[in-house]
Structure 1
């Protein structure tokens, strides 16, 4: 496949914050053939380097295994040199670009600007499979993924999928290949450090002090997982002995997006302070808390269809507000401020 050239990438992370890479795999493809690879364990950026046992159980990388590895910031020059001017390919490339983004931000580094194409979206457009998860899609491409969640093996699998589909379609030019499936590149912007406004993922964790810092004892709490869908949790009755002056007392609160505390715990907090909660926006909802790192400035940008007001619950809340229902939209930062002393994490 002369002309089919790119670099495939995969990260594993130490915890539920995207900016905690603990390994990276890179595979260089030239004319449809693997010509070089780069793999290294990484120590995540300082202050964000606590290993979560849930992540360790997935990829098998422990703090001890990565203890002598370079920090992401120390390794990035070599990583960037390997990528060069290539476009990246990954299975769910948005995630990998977000890892680059947050890890660069918390390392105090600028971004060279990167772009990537998503092999899982291409696989869904071409392969007729019940599941397009990486092992299944790679097998369809003729690649047996022997070590899933090893960054180099996963990068090879993503590369194999793109090479196989390019051969089937006899289309070696990447943009033409992905464009035929209406897939545009995802772009990580160029910036010089320090970045004037950091990503949502980074802004969200910066508000929680030493929570992700391996040098600070965690106690008996679990780390939050900010990458996976949170369970709704139970809707509890309001505490009848709550302070009637508390901002949550008498409110009915719904949530959309991930918070640093689990949604079930957030609901318990509201109930303890005299409020009630609902798993959806209803005619009684008076407050919608919007997570995922969106802040008050994001909430003010209501024109952004991909922004915080694009979720189903937020759209429902806006429709109800338009016909007179009083619903307050609150960021995680605002929710934390309203919670006051009830909030479980120190800033």
Structure 2
């Protein structure tokens, strides 16, 4: 192996991962860029409404791509360009989810793709206050003057990897990342209809009408900013005036996985009821709320068969529970049922009530 890879960056039309409107690809051989590819596209039909907040970020509007090919039409060219390469992306989980969700909602087979994360590599090698793409690429000697132009962002990610490889004197892409204990992220391979869609796609099914450009019955502001729903937000202090007989008073709660409401809002509700929320599982944790379609029945299955339990928080909770710590695992639907009318259902997120009623997971 050598320092051969393809850097990738997507821009999306809205908060759903499966709404790509631009892609940039940079092919690197031996640490040198040898080819590039850029294209704008229409997102998959039914998920192609442009959120003004995203347009403001990347400058691509619906009219600009009106005659562009759909993602499904463009994907064969993207696939040919990538070939069998390992991909690299800054925040790889995002780009992996874009591929996965866009393939799902386009009704396409997946060839299976592999990706490594340059932001994780940056955190392991650069001492920076921020490891956002402009700061990390500047440390690598690349001037990112057009941030959120997909091709330049892909070049910036490539520059980070090449710079760290040179500093580390490590010419093998996979060995370079393995030395920092950074795992490969995967777009699974599949043919035909998947038996279980990704969390990001399941996220939008109950509110799909909000992302459909053909529907004009709701304002653009009604589209939830899904990419921010999973932000942890601050750890709020428990409400000292909460009812001490309440079910959540004094409970130490950790949230993990994809949830169907903004995580920060749910934490605020729980803190208001006297709970202490945390961002990691500790010796004081008593309740782990698991998203990603988890059900309590999953606890009887091997972890490798239960994707929702493969997060670090879930694994830490399971390990501590096996050692005797009293930790209860509940699904989002079960938590919604326990909270009842306290479940956060802002009017700005139409369709969110379906989570409380059915336990469906809406966000990925």
Establish whether TM, by shorter chain, passes 0.5: yes
For normalisation by structure 2, the TM-score amounts to: 0.74
Of 86-95 and 258-267, more deviation after overlay is shown by: 258-267
Is 1:211 matched up with 2:210?
yes
- Describe how 1:153-232 pairs up with structure 2 within 5 A: 153-216=152-215, 217-219=217-219, 221-227=222-228, 228-229=230-231, 231=233
Compared with structure 1, are the counterparts of its residues 311 and 175 closer, same or farther at alpha carbon in structure 2 (3 Å cutoff)? closer
1:1-347 matched pairs, under 5 angstroms: 3-216=2-215, 217-219=217-219, 221-227=222-228, 228-229=230-231, 231=233, 252=248, 256-257=255-256, 259-263=259-263, 276=273, 278=275, 280=277, 290-291=290-291, 293-296=292-295, 301=301, 303=303, 307-308=308-309, 329-332=330-333, 335=336, 344-345=350-351
Distance 1:251 1:125, change over 3 A: closer
Contact in 1 for aligned 2:47/2:208 (Cα 8 Å): no
Structure having the larger proportion of residues in helix: 2
Cα 1:339/1:126, change in 2 over 3 Å: same
Task: Provide the secondary structure at the position in 2 that maps to 1:40.
Answer: strand
Cα distance, 1:299 vs structure 2: 6.3
Please state how far the C-alpha of 1:144 moved relative to its aligned partner.
0.5
Distance 2:128 2:327 in 1: 46
Give 1:52 shift: 2.1
Q: Secondary structure of the equivalent of 2:214?
A: coil
Deviations 1:153-177 (A, max 9, x none): 0000011111122222332221222
SS of the counterpart of 1:307?
Answer: helix
For the 8 Å contact 1:256–1:313, the answer to whether it is kept is no
* Secondary structure of 1:144's aligned partner: coil
Say which SS state the counterpart of residue 161 (structure 1) adopts.
helix
Deviation digits for residues 83-126 of structure 1 (CA, Å, limit 9, x no counterpart): 11111011121221111111111111111111112212222222
Change (3 A) 1:332 1:200: farther
Question: What is the Cα deviation at residue 327 of structure 1?
Answer: 6.0
Which structure 1 residue ranges, 5 or more long, are not aligned?
A: 238-249
SS of the residue corresponding to residue 148 of structure 1 reads: coil
Q: Deviations over 1:304-323 (max 9, x none)?
A: 69734857599779979x99
Query: Deviation digits for residues 48-99 of structure 1, max 9, x if unmatched?
Result: 2222222222222222222222211111011001111111011121221111
Equivalent residue, structure 2, for 1:243: none
> What is the CA–CA distance in structure 1 between the aligned matches of 2:13 and 2:288, rounded to whole Å?
31
How many angstroms does 1:328 deviate by? 7.4
Moved more, 116-125 or 256-265: 256-265
CA contact (8 A) 1:256 1:311 kept: no
CA RMSD of aligned residues (A): 4.1
CA shift, 1:278, in A, is 3.9
Task: Report the Cα distance in structure 1 between the residues aligned to 2:327 and 2:117, rounded to whole angstroms.
Answer: 41
C-alpha contact (below 8 Å) 2:25/2:151 kept by paired residues:
yes
Q: Structure 1 279/69 Cα, relative in aligned 2: closer, same or farther at 3 Å?
A: farther
In the alignment of these two chains, the number of paired residues is 334
SS in 2 for 1:65: helix
Point out the more displaced range, 156-165 or 50-59.
50-59
| Counterparts of 2:138 and 2:56, CA distance in 1 | 24
Q: CA deviation at 1:34?
A: 1.3
Residues 215 and 338 of structure 1, relative CA distance in 2, 3 Å threshold: farther
